[in-house]
Structure 1
Amino acid sequence: MSGQPTGVPSYAVRIAEGPADMEACFAVRKQVFVVEQEVPADIEYDAYDAGAVHVLAVSGDGLPLGTGRLLYGAAAAGRTGGDATVGSLGRLAVSREARGSGVGAALVRAIEDAAVERGLSAVDLHAQTHALGFYERLGYVAYGPEFPDAGIAHRAMRRAL
Protein backbone atom coordinates (compact mmCIF):
# COMPACT_ATOMS: atom_id res chain seq x y z
CA MET A 1 0.00 0.00 0.00
CA SER A 2 1.40 3.39 -0.91
CA GLY A 3 1.92 6.10 1.65
CA GLN A 4 3.12 3.79 4.41
CA PRO A 5 5.82 5.20 6.68
CA THR A 6 9.31 3.80 6.10
CA GLY A 7 10.09 0.81 8.30
CA VAL A 8 6.44 -0.12 8.91
CA PRO A 9 5.61 -3.70 7.95
CA SER A 10 3.41 -3.94 4.88
CA TYR A 11 -0.33 -4.05 5.30
CA ALA A 12 -3.41 -3.98 3.13
CA VAL A 13 -6.82 -2.44 3.75
CA ARG A 14 -9.89 -3.99 2.17
CA ILE A 15 -13.64 -4.29 2.51
CA ALA A 16 -14.33 -7.18 4.88
CA GLU A 17 -16.06 -10.06 3.17
CA GLY A 18 -17.17 -13.36 4.61
CA PRO A 19 -17.16 -14.84 8.10
CA ALA A 20 -13.36 -14.98 8.53
CA ASP A 21 -12.98 -11.26 7.80
CA MET A 22 -15.84 -10.40 10.15
CA GLU A 23 -14.27 -12.52 12.91
CA ALA A 24 -11.02 -10.59 12.37
CA CYS A 25 -12.84 -7.24 12.60
CA PHE A 26 -14.61 -8.30 15.79
CA ALA A 27 -11.35 -9.61 17.29
CA VAL A 28 -9.66 -6.21 16.86
CA ARG A 29 -12.69 -4.42 18.29
CA LYS A 30 -12.79 -6.78 21.26
CA GLN A 31 -9.12 -6.19 22.04
CA VAL A 32 -9.29 -2.39 21.69
CA PHE A 33 -12.73 -1.53 23.02
CA VAL A 34 -13.77 -4.36 25.34
CA VAL A 35 -10.36 -5.33 26.80
CA GLU A 36 -8.31 -2.10 26.68
CA GLN A 37 -11.07 0.49 27.11
CA GLU A 38 -13.45 -1.68 29.16
CA VAL A 39 -16.49 -1.00 26.98
CA PRO A 40 -19.15 -3.60 27.83
CA ALA A 41 -19.34 -6.21 25.05
CA ASP A 42 -23.13 -5.99 24.99
CA ILE A 43 -22.94 -2.38 23.73
CA GLU A 44 -19.85 -2.79 21.53
CA TYR A 45 -21.57 -5.16 19.12
CA ASP A 46 -24.96 -4.02 17.84
CA ALA A 47 -27.65 -4.65 15.26
CA TYR A 48 -25.98 -2.18 12.87
CA ASP A 49 -23.03 -4.53 12.33
CA ALA A 50 -25.07 -6.75 10.02
CA GLY A 51 -25.81 -3.99 7.47
CA ALA A 52 -22.61 -1.96 7.78
CA VAL A 53 -19.68 -1.84 5.39
CA HIS A 54 -16.71 -3.08 7.41
CA VAL A 55 -13.10 -2.42 6.45
CA LEU A 56 -10.19 -4.51 7.62
CA ALA A 57 -6.44 -3.86 7.71
CA VAL A 58 -4.23 -6.94 7.68
CA SER A 59 -0.47 -7.36 7.89
CA GLY A 60 1.55 -8.94 5.11
CA ASP A 61 1.23 -12.26 6.91
CA GLY A 62 -2.54 -11.94 7.34
CA LEU A 63 -2.79 -10.76 10.95
CA PRO A 64 -5.66 -8.32 11.61
CA LEU A 65 -4.34 -4.86 12.47
CA GLY A 66 -7.41 -2.64 12.42
CA THR A 67 -11.02 -2.21 11.46
CA GLY A 68 -13.81 0.31 11.12
CA ARG A 69 -17.33 0.47 9.73
CA LEU A 70 -19.56 2.70 7.65
CA LEU A 71 -23.27 3.07 8.32
CA TYR A 72 -25.35 4.65 5.58
CA GLY A 73 -28.96 5.17 4.66
CA ALA A 74 -31.52 4.52 7.38
CA ALA A 75 -28.85 2.98 9.64
CA ALA A 76 -26.91 6.27 9.71
CA ALA A 77 -29.92 8.59 9.93
CA GLY A 78 -30.07 8.66 13.73
CA ARG A 79 -26.41 9.65 13.98
CA THR A 80 -26.36 12.18 11.14
CA GLY A 81 -29.43 14.25 11.87
CA GLY A 82 -31.56 12.34 9.39
CA ASP A 83 -29.52 13.37 6.33
CA ALA A 84 -29.45 10.38 3.96
CA THR A 85 -26.43 11.80 2.13
CA VAL A 86 -24.22 11.58 5.24
CA GLY A 87 -22.61 8.33 6.34
CA SER A 88 -21.47 7.45 9.84
CA LEU A 89 -17.93 6.19 10.44
CA GLY A 90 -17.60 4.16 13.60
CA ARG A 91 -15.91 1.39 15.51
CA LEU A 92 -12.48 2.47 14.24
CA ALA A 93 -9.95 0.35 16.11
CA VAL A 94 -6.25 -0.28 15.53
CA SER A 95 -4.28 -2.93 17.38
CA ARG A 96 -1.71 -1.64 19.85
CA GLU A 97 1.22 -2.89 17.75
CA ALA A 98 -0.03 -1.10 14.61
CA ARG A 99 -0.77 2.31 16.16
CA GLY A 100 1.25 5.14 14.67
CA SER A 101 1.92 3.19 11.48
CA GLY A 102 -0.67 4.84 9.24
CA VAL A 103 -3.17 1.99 9.54
CA GLY A 104 -5.83 4.19 11.19
CA ALA A 105 -5.62 6.87 8.48
CA ALA A 106 -5.75 4.19 5.76
CA LEU A 107 -8.89 2.72 7.36
CA VAL A 108 -10.56 6.15 7.49
CA ARG A 109 -9.73 6.76 3.81
CA ALA A 110 -11.10 3.33 2.86
CA ILE A 111 -14.34 4.10 4.70
CA GLU A 112 -14.54 7.46 2.92
CA ASP A 113 -14.01 5.71 -0.42
CA ALA A 114 -16.86 3.32 0.42
CA ALA A 115 -19.03 6.35 1.29
CA VAL A 116 -18.26 8.02 -2.06
CA GLU A 117 -19.09 4.76 -3.88
CA ARG A 118 -22.51 4.87 -2.20
CA GLY A 119 -23.13 8.47 -3.27
CA LEU A 120 -22.66 10.06 0.13
CA SER A 121 -21.56 13.69 0.42
CA ALA A 122 -20.05 13.64 3.92
CA VAL A 123 -19.04 11.37 6.78
CA ASP A 124 -19.89 11.97 10.44
CA LEU A 125 -18.25 10.27 13.38
CA HIS A 126 -18.23 10.35 17.15
CA ALA A 127 -14.58 10.70 18.17
CA GLN A 128 -13.17 9.90 21.57
CA THR A 129 -11.80 13.26 22.67
CA HIS A 130 -8.23 11.95 22.90
CA ALA A 131 -8.48 11.18 19.13
CA LEU A 132 -9.71 14.61 18.00
CA GLY A 133 -6.28 15.62 16.65
CA PHE A 134 -6.04 12.41 14.59
CA TYR A 135 -9.35 13.11 12.88
CA GLU A 136 -8.62 16.84 12.48
CA ARG A 137 -5.43 15.93 10.57
CA LEU A 138 -7.66 13.92 8.22
CA GLY A 139 -9.94 16.91 7.57
CA TYR A 140 -12.71 16.34 10.11
CA VAL A 141 -14.20 19.29 12.00
CA ALA A 142 -15.69 18.93 15.49
CA TYR A 143 -19.12 20.36 16.23
CA GLY A 144 -21.49 20.38 19.18
CA PRO A 145 -20.74 19.75 22.84
CA GLU A 146 -18.72 16.93 24.36
CA PHE A 147 -20.87 13.94 25.35
CA PRO A 148 -20.30 10.56 27.04
CA ASP A 149 -20.60 7.29 25.12
CA ALA A 150 -19.87 4.05 26.99
CA GLY A 151 -18.44 6.23 29.77
CA ILE A 152 -15.88 7.83 27.41
CA ALA A 153 -15.91 11.52 26.39
CA HIS A 154 -16.70 12.06 22.69
CA ARG A 155 -17.29 14.89 20.19
CA ALA A 156 -19.20 14.75 16.92
CA MET A 157 -17.10 15.47 13.82
CA ARG A 158 -17.83 15.73 10.08
CA ARG A 159 -15.89 15.83 6.83
CA ALA A 160 -17.35 16.70 3.45
CA LEU A 161 -16.32 14.30 0.70
Structure 2
Amino acid sequence: MFRVEIAKTDKDRESAFSIRKKVFVEEQGVPLNLELDEHDETATHFVIYTTDTPIGAGRLRETDAGTGKVERVCVLPEFRGRYLGNLIMNSLEEFAKSNELKKIILNSQSYAVPFYEKLGFVITSPEFMDADIPHRAMEKILN
Protein backbone atom coordinates (compact mmCIF):
# COMPACT_ATOMS: atom_id res chain seq x y z
CA MET A 1 0.00 0.00 0.00
CA PHE A 2 1.31 3.41 -0.99
CA ARG A 3 0.43 6.74 0.58
CA VAL A 4 1.50 10.36 0.15
CA GLU A 5 2.09 12.50 3.21
CA ILE A 6 3.01 16.13 3.65
CA ALA A 7 6.36 16.40 5.44
CA LYS A 8 5.67 17.82 8.88
CA THR A 9 8.88 17.01 10.74
CA ASP A 10 12.60 17.32 10.07
CA LYS A 11 12.70 13.53 9.68
CA ASP A 12 9.99 13.70 6.99
CA ARG A 13 11.89 16.42 5.11
CA GLU A 14 15.12 14.43 5.36
CA SER A 15 13.28 11.47 3.82
CA ALA A 16 12.28 13.69 0.88
CA PHE A 17 15.85 14.99 0.52
CA SER A 18 17.26 11.45 0.65
CA ILE A 19 15.00 10.30 -2.21
CA ARG A 20 15.88 13.39 -4.25
CA LYS A 21 19.61 12.82 -3.74
CA LYS A 22 19.30 9.21 -4.91
CA VAL A 23 17.31 10.11 -8.04
CA PHE A 24 18.64 13.49 -9.11
CA VAL A 25 22.21 13.54 -7.76
CA GLU A 26 23.27 9.88 -7.91
CA GLU A 27 21.17 8.66 -10.85
CA GLN A 28 20.99 11.79 -13.04
CA GLY A 29 24.21 13.56 -12.06
CA VAL A 30 22.67 16.85 -10.89
CA PRO A 31 25.12 18.69 -8.61
CA LEU A 32 24.02 18.57 -4.97
CA ASN A 33 24.22 22.37 -4.65
CA LEU A 34 21.63 22.69 -7.44
CA GLU A 35 19.35 19.93 -6.15
CA LEU A 36 19.05 21.19 -2.58
CA ASP A 37 18.34 24.91 -2.77
CA GLU A 38 17.04 27.95 -0.91
CA HIS A 39 13.42 27.00 -1.65
CA ASP A 40 13.63 23.84 0.45
CA GLU A 41 13.12 25.93 3.59
CA THR A 42 9.76 27.34 2.53
CA ALA A 43 8.31 24.76 0.11
CA THR A 44 5.73 22.17 1.13
CA HIS A 45 7.33 18.74 0.76
CA PHE A 46 5.45 15.55 -0.09
CA VAL A 47 6.73 12.02 0.49
CA ILE A 48 5.40 8.74 -0.91
CA TYR A 49 5.67 5.86 1.54
CA THR A 50 5.21 2.14 1.26
CA THR A 51 4.59 1.05 4.84
CA ASP A 52 7.19 3.28 6.61
CA THR A 53 9.74 3.38 3.79
CA PRO A 54 10.01 6.59 1.75
CA ILE A 55 10.11 5.85 -1.99
CA GLY A 56 9.16 9.11 -3.73
CA ALA A 57 9.05 12.85 -3.21
CA GLY A 58 8.01 16.21 -4.59
CA ARG A 59 7.53 19.77 -3.46
CA LEU A 60 5.21 22.69 -4.10
CA ARG A 61 5.86 26.36 -3.50
CA GLU A 62 3.89 29.49 -4.25
CA THR A 63 5.80 31.66 -6.73
CA ASP A 64 3.25 34.43 -7.31
CA ALA A 65 -0.18 35.11 -5.88
CA GLY A 66 -2.34 32.22 -7.04
CA THR A 67 0.47 30.26 -8.74
CA GLY A 68 2.17 27.19 -7.34
CA LYS A 69 5.31 25.61 -8.75
CA VAL A 70 5.71 21.84 -8.64
CA GLU A 71 9.33 20.75 -8.33
CA ARG A 72 11.56 17.77 -7.58
CA VAL A 73 9.00 15.08 -8.34
CA CYS A 74 10.74 11.71 -8.27
CA VAL A 75 10.29 8.01 -7.49
CA LEU A 76 13.03 5.51 -6.74
CA PRO A 77 13.84 3.36 -9.80
CA GLU A 78 12.63 0.09 -8.30
CA PHE A 79 9.15 1.59 -7.71
CA ARG A 80 8.61 3.21 -11.10
CA GLY A 81 5.83 2.03 -13.40
CA ARG A 82 3.29 1.75 -10.59
CA TYR A 83 1.50 5.08 -11.17
CA LEU A 84 3.20 6.62 -8.15
CA GLY A 85 3.99 9.74 -10.18
CA ASN A 86 0.25 10.16 -10.69
CA LEU A 87 -0.33 9.59 -6.97
CA ILE A 88 2.04 12.34 -5.89
CA MET A 89 0.92 14.76 -8.60
CA ASN A 90 -2.72 14.28 -7.58
CA SER A 91 -1.75 15.04 -3.97
CA LEU A 92 0.19 18.15 -5.00
CA GLU A 93 -2.74 19.36 -7.12
CA GLU A 94 -5.31 18.77 -4.38
CA PHE A 95 -3.10 20.67 -1.93
CA ALA A 96 -2.78 23.54 -4.43
CA LYS A 97 -6.56 23.69 -4.88
CA SER A 98 -7.17 23.57 -1.12
CA ASN A 99 -4.83 26.56 -0.81
CA GLU A 100 -6.82 28.43 -3.47
CA LEU A 101 -4.07 28.40 -6.09
CA LYS A 102 -5.41 29.04 -9.58
CA LYS A 103 -2.53 27.62 -11.62
CA ILE A 104 0.38 25.24 -11.18
CA ILE A 105 3.55 25.43 -13.22
CA LEU A 106 6.55 23.15 -13.52
CA ASN A 107 9.72 22.56 -15.51
CA SER A 108 9.54 19.01 -16.87
CA GLN A 109 12.51 17.04 -18.04
CA SER A 110 11.75 16.72 -21.75
CA TYR A 111 11.40 12.94 -21.67
CA ALA A 112 8.63 13.31 -19.03
CA VAL A 113 6.49 15.82 -20.99
CA PRO A 114 3.98 13.10 -22.10
CA PHE A 115 3.46 12.11 -18.44
CA TYR A 116 2.51 15.67 -17.50
CA GLU A 117 0.41 16.16 -20.64
CA LYS A 118 -1.73 13.18 -19.58
CA LEU A 119 -2.32 15.02 -16.30
CA GLY A 120 -3.59 18.10 -18.14
CA PHE A 121 -0.44 20.22 -18.33
CA VAL A 122 0.42 22.16 -21.49
CA ILE A 123 3.85 23.17 -22.76
CA THR A 124 4.59 26.90 -22.39
CA SER A 125 8.23 27.16 -23.53
CA PRO A 126 10.76 25.94 -26.05
CA GLU A 127 13.20 23.35 -24.77
CA PHE A 128 15.89 24.69 -22.42
CA MET A 129 18.73 23.22 -20.42
CA ASP A 130 18.72 23.00 -16.63
CA ALA A 131 21.55 21.14 -14.87
CA ASP A 132 22.60 19.90 -18.34
CA ILE A 133 19.21 18.18 -18.77
CA PRO A 134 16.67 19.27 -21.46
CA HIS A 135 13.45 20.69 -19.98
CA ARG A 136 10.16 22.30 -21.05
CA ALA A 137 8.07 24.69 -18.96
CA MET A 138 4.47 23.56 -18.48
CA GLU A 139 1.34 24.79 -16.72
CA LYS A 140 -2.11 23.67 -15.68
CA ILE A 141 -5.05 25.92 -14.85
CA LEU A 142 -6.92 24.62 -11.81
CA ASN A 143 -10.72 24.58 -11.62
What SS does structure 1 have at the residue aligned with 2:82?
Answer: coil
What SS does structure 2 have at the residue aligned with 1:127?
Answer: strand
CA displacement 1:60-117 (0-9 Å, x = unmatched) = 2x11110000010xxx14xxxxxx2111000101111111111111111111111112
Q: Which amino acid aligns with 2:57?
A: T
1:64 to 54, 68, 80: 54
1:23 aligned onto 2:14 = yes
1:44 aligned onto 2:25 = no
What SS does structure 2 have at the residue aligned with 1:115?
Answer: helix
User: Which residue pairs with 1:128 in the alignment?
Assistant: 109
Name structure 2 gaps, 5 residues minimum: none
What SS does structure 2 have at the residue aligned with 1:91?
Answer: strand
User: Which residue pairs with 1:112 in the alignment?
Assistant: 93
Conservation of the 8 A alpha-carbon contact between 1:142 and 1:158: yes
Shift of 1:28: 0.5
| Higher share of residues assigned strand | 2
Shift of 1:139: 0.8
Note the aligned Cα RMSD (angstroms). Answer: 0.8
CA displacement 1:41-75 (0-9 Å, x = unmatched) = 01100110111011110002x11110000010xxx
Alignment size in residue pairs: 142
What SS does structure 1 have at the residue aligned with 2:46?
Answer: strand
Larger Rg: 1
Give the distance between the partners of 2:7 and 2:84, measured in 1 at CA.
Answer: 15
Give the distance between the partners of 2:83 and 2:55, measured in 1 at CA.
Answer: 11
Conservation of the 8 A alpha-carbon contact between 1:65 and 1:103: no
User: Which residue pairs with 1:4 in the alignment?
Assistant: none
Q: Which amino acid aligns with 1:40?
A: P
1:99 aligned onto 2:90 = no
Give the distance between the partners of 2:13 and 2:70, measured in 1 at CA.
Answer: 17
Runs of 4 or more off by more than 2 Å in structure 1? none
Identity of counterpart residues, as a percentage? Answer: 39
Name structure 1 gaps, 5 residues minimum: 1-9, 78-83
What SS does structure 2 have at the residue aligned with 1:57?
Answer: strand
